[in-house]
Amino acid sequence: MQTSDNLVEVSNLRFSYGKREVLKGVDLSIPHGKVVAILGVSGCGKSTLLHHFGGQLKPASGSVKVLGKVIHELDNDELYAMRRQMGMMFQVSGLFSDLSVYDNLAFPMREHTDLSEEMIRDLVLMKLHAVGLRGAHGLMPKDLSGGMERRVALARAIALDPQLIIYDEPFAGLDPISLNIIANLIRTLNDALGVTSVVVTYDMSESLKIADYVYFIHDGQVVAQGVASEMYESKDPFVHQFIHAESDGPVPFHYPSRPYVEDI
């Protein structure tokens, strides 16, 4: 992965919440036009890493560079301009509960562009059509199923035609049909729109189907990486345990404690 080919570059990123070090020198690169999955168990630092992409958190050391600019060095105006190049599909969808599906998609267009309402209408319906929900534009979020809600959130993530789309746990809580639909949409939209996608998840099976490249994070560090199609054959102990859902391995079943006999 050459530097000129990368939309995102993370270099020796470190971050702590108080005395608890969460990111311990993360290095990774995300090439233009690819779907990159960042996998790991809950609490390994995946979402904290994402917060550095958007500048919500500042690193203790190291850097995150997006489109050639170091995020934590940007001033407020530059940061908000950079965020307009990013689309975000939140872990819990994050739709405005008091706005219709149509208005949820129109909101960022009204806030960040000078487009006419006629043009906004065409764009909203086009984005909804891309996720199969053009006919649901008049519904309220409370009227949507879990899978439909995620698809609306995905449509809103691409509303401003960003260069980078970030998916935070996009498959959590979905039934198998909805999960497969969302996974296929991520891959299809990435290729059709020519964007770059980062999928942060603990769902191994679906992410390996759609990703070009995979990073495995454990205990705040990148412990393995490689082409997604090759991960099933990996001999790395963490990758093997994660992919095969084994209880015994680098990720312990028991939380650290005194020997059991001392507590009884």
pLDDT value at residue 92: 75
* Residues in a beta bridge with 227: 213
- If DSSP states are collapsed to H, E and C, what string results for the chain? CCHHHEEEEEEEEEEEECCEEEEEEEEEEEECCCEEEEECCCCCCHHHHHHHHCCCCCCCEEEEEECCEEHHHCCHHHHHHHHCCEEEEECCECCCCCCCHHHHHHHHHHHHCCCCHHHHHHHHHHHHHHCCCHHHCCCCHHHCCHHHHHHHHHHHHCCCCCCEEEEECCCCCCCHHHHHHHHHHHHHHHHHHCCEEEEEECCHHHHHHHCCEEEEEECCEEEEEEEHHHHHHCCCHHHHHHHCCCCCCCCCCCCCCCCHHHHC
Q: Residue holding tokens 């970030």?
A: 166
Q: How many domains, in total, are found in the chain?
A: 1
Residue 239 in domain: yes
Residue 132 in domain: no
Q: What is the mean pLDDT of residues 84-89?
A: 90
Q: Report whether pLDDT(1) > 60.
A: no
- What pLDDT band is residue 53 in, cutting at 50, 70 and 90? very high
Residue 101 in domain: no
- What pLDDT band is residue 247 in, cutting at 50, 70 and 90? confident
Please state, in angstroms and as integers, the Cα–Cα distance from residue 17 to each residue in 45, 152, 202, following that order: 11, 33, 22
Residue 187 in domain: no
Per residue in 87-99, pLDDT (tens digit) is 988 877 789 999 9
* Residues in a beta bridge with 224: 216
Residue 57 in domain: yes
Neighbouring C-beta atoms of residue 247, cutoff 10 Å: 8
Residue 99 in domain: no
Rounded to two decimals, the pTM is 0.85
> How far is the C-alpha of 196 from the C-alpha of 162, rounded, in Å?
9
pLDDT value at residue 165: 94
- What pLDDT band is residue 2 in, cutting at 50, 70 and 90? very low
Residue 212 in domain: yes
Residue 37's domain comprises: 3-85+163-173+198-263
- pLDDT over 90 percentage in the chain: 54
> How far is the C-alpha of 218 from the C-alpha of 144, rounded, in Å?
35
- pLDDT over 70 percentage in the chain: 98
| Token pair for 168 | 């935070």
- What pLDDT band is residue 244 in, cutting at 50, 70 and 90? confident
Q: Is the separation of the CB atoms in 123 and 107 below 8 Å?
A: no
pLDDT value at residue 90: 83
- What pLDDT band is residue 63 in, cutting at 50, 70 and 90? very high
- What pLDDT band is residue 4 in, cutting at 50, 70 and 90? low
Q: How far is residue 128 CA from its own chain's centroid?
A: 20
Supply the CATH number for residue 221's domain: 3.40.50.300
Residue 92 in domain: no
